[in-house]
Chain A
Amino acid sequence: MPTELNYWPLIGVAVVIAGFALRRNPVLVVVVAGLASGLAAGVTLPDLLALLGKTFVENRVLLLFLLTLPAIGVLEHHGLRERAKRWIAGFRGLTLARLQITYLAARQLISMTGLTHVAGHPQTVRPLLAPMSEAAAERTLDGELSNAERNTVRASAAATDNVGLFFGEDVFMAFGAVLLIQGFFASNGITLEPLAISLWALPTAVCAFVIHSIRLHFLQRRLLRERAASSTGGTDDAAR
């Protein structure tokens, strides 16, 4: 290895930024970025191909969630999402914000026990939380959702799942991130107990819950206000 740093591999970062800015196909952008960085670092093509292939195979665990698709597909084909909507619509007093805040709390608490894969976008958000959120929003707004409103509510469902997962999982002391932190410090001569690290994830977990809950309240208020504005004759749907 040369002693001075080689800055040329940074070209891969530039490729990523340019590719996403130009909205090229992300998969292709990422593959090209990997090739560019590798070649710029002076890795030979056969070695680079082997590196790409080996890392790709090592990460195949990321697609294990595909096994949920047949079950979800069958249930949706037989009206699971419609049923979820109808069930939620039967609850009086359940608003969009209350539903999503409850889900946020549950997702955070379950992640804190290390069960990060119990919920997720294919398992729970698409078949359950998203249609339930739509039904709750229809109740809150007292009417059918417009396309824009529906997309906002769905995006918020996905965001709520992410926030709950990210800021719950680190409180679990055997979670990968905590072990990564511990391992990094251990290899640099600082010994820490995993519990000592994971406990310090609690303040952020509380902040995340408070901040996102406030945002969900504001989202609901915004939807109500826009409804009120448009029903009084204004075509103010461009507001934000």
Chain B
Amino acid sequence: MLRVEYLYWLVGALLIVSAWLNLRDRRHAMGAFWLVLSAPFLFGNFVLDAHQRGSTWPAQAMGLAVIALGLLASRSRLSVREDSAEEHARRDSESLRLGNRLFMPALAIPAFTLILYFGAGTLSRQGLDLLDPKALTLSALGIASLLALIAALRVTRSPAVEAIHQGRHLLDALGWAVLLPMVLATLGGVFAATGVGDAIAALTSAMIPVDSRLACLLAFALGMVFFTVIMGNAFAAFPVMMAGIGLPLLIHQHGADPAILGAIGMLTGYCGTLLTPMAANFNIVPAVLLELPDQYGVIRSQVPTALALMLANILLMLLLVFR
């Protein structure tokens, strides 16, 4: 079986090479940043295995690495790198020379992801696990990216080393934004372990008139949005708001339908995901990828949809859950 671990090693290798190229260019902060970040990818399984055996020093070292990454990130600024006129001219002439052949490798990423996903799924039902069944789509995406890279190098007739240089340029353009999803998920873990969610749920349920089902429903819906905005993730908000308000008040006291409340309640939380910089991989990373001058540009574009949809969800719940 192709373990997802192998793909992590490849990510680690990409980070190490980027680190080395940056250090060679005397961009020390950026180089050190990629070097430290490669550690969880190269030694991830070792850390988790050691932790399971009761040896905590590797995890503690990784904790220090997280703090180091925070400090290094605060020393480097995200800057939009303007392409040189030479690069612009080159891209224009190349796009004319290669024409629609350029689309083939780009579309190969989604196409191969699909094929690998269904292919590996079918084989897995026959008892043959080609890809890691626990991370099937992401493994498929990883391998599809490699196949697309081979296609891209062939179509453009570029040497393999160009892949490293271009990958490193994109990585440098993303900078610390790349790390934000991972540290936010880490923060979610810390919040869960230290009882932040329970404290918020206790505060909210102490403030609402519990006999009014409208008040309870509004508190649940707005709580999902608010808590998702804070945590950057509706998955973290759901158990907290459900345990605090949804289950005891709405379902047990007011007789709400759990399936409908669960499904639409989660999607109400997703409206919060559209609003928050904490959901960095959806809101901040694309702003950097698209070279927007405003880090919050994508969020601004989403606010009206998020608010209108939140209202729609509240109305749907009012109509549907108390049948």
Known: A37-B190, A162-B282. A30 touches B262 (CB 8 A): no
Residues of B with C-beta under 8 A to A212: 305
CB distance from A239 to the nearest CB of B (A): 15
Closest to B65 in A: A53
Q: How far is the CA of A12 from the CA of B239 in the complex (A)?
A: 19
CA distance A35 to B59 in the complex (A): 15
- What residue of chain A has the Cβ atom nearest to residue B41's Cβ? A60
Assess whether A162 is in contact with B51, with CB atoms less than 8 Å apart.
no
Of the candidates B141, B274, B285, the one whose C-beta lies within 8 Å of that of A121 is B285
Are the C-beta atoms of A7 and B298 separated by less than 8 Å?
Answer: no
> Would you give the shortest CB distance from A226 to chain B, in whole angstroms?
16
Which residue of the partner chain A has the closest CB to B279?
A: A162
Cβ-defined partner of A62 (8 Å) among B165, B263, B281, B302? B281
Chain A binding surface, main DSSP class: helix
Residue of B nearest to A212 (CB): B305
**Does A201 count as interface, using CB distance less than 8 angstroms?**
yes
- Please tell me if the beta carbons of A197 and B263 are within 8 angstroms of each other in the complex: yes
Whether A126 sits at the interface, judged by CB under 8 Å, is yes
Cross-chain pair count, CB within 8 angstroms: 437
CB–CB A69/B167 < 8 A: yes
Q: Mark each residue of chain A from 59 to 76: 1 if its CB lies under 8 Å from any CB of chain B, else 0.
A: 111111111111111111
Contact at B105–A60, with CB atoms within 8 Å?
Answer: no
Instruction: Output the nearest chain B residue to A9 by Cβ-Cβ distance.
Output: B194
Task: Please give the distance in Å from A26's CB to the nearest CB on chain B.
Answer: 6
In the complex, what distance in Å separates the CA atom of A167 from the CA atom of B263?
11
Distance (whole angstroms) from the CB of A9 to the closest CB of chain B: 4
Contact A155 B297 (CB under 8 A): yes
B287 near A155 with CB under 8 A, answer: yes
A123 to chain B: closest CB distance in Å?
Answer: 5
Q: Do A122 and B98 have beta carbons less than 8 Å apart?
A: no
Asked whether, in the complex, the Cβ of A74 is within 8 Å of the Cβ of B152, the reply is: yes
* Residue B216, interface by CB 8 Å: no
Question: Does A6 touch B at the CB level, under 8 Å?
Answer: yes
Give the chain B neighbours of A196 by CB distance below 8 A. 259
The answer, yes or no, to whether A83 is at the interface (CB within 8 Å) is yes
**Given A13-B196, A27-B74, A52-B63, also A68-B141 (CB < 8 A):** yes
Knowing A37-B196, A71-B152, A200-B264, the reply to whether A119 touches B235 (Cβ < 8 A) is: no
B residues 110-126 in Cβ contact with A at 8 Å: 110, 113-114, 117
Measured CA separation A28–B189 after assembly (Å): 17
Interface assignment of B29: CB less than 8 Å from any CB of chain A: no
A83 contact set on B, CB distance < 8 A: 95, 98-100, 102-103
User: CB-CB < 8 A to B230: which residues of A?
Assistant: 13, 16-17
Partner of B274, one of A87, A162, A188: A162
Known: A32-B70, A78-B94, A78-B102. A60 touches B187 (CB 8 A): no
Q: A59-B189, A71-B105 are in contact. List 19 more A-B contacts (CB 8 A).
A: A13-B200, A13-B230, A27-B70, A30-B186, A30-B187, A40-B194, A48-B63, A50-B63, A52-B62, A55-B190, A68-B148, A74-B156, A74-B163, A121-B289, A126-B290, A167-B270, A176-B235, A192-B262, A215-B304
6 A-B pairs whose Cβ atoms sit less than 8 Å apart in the complex: A24-B74, A27-B74, A30-B187, A66-B171, A118-B113, A181-B262
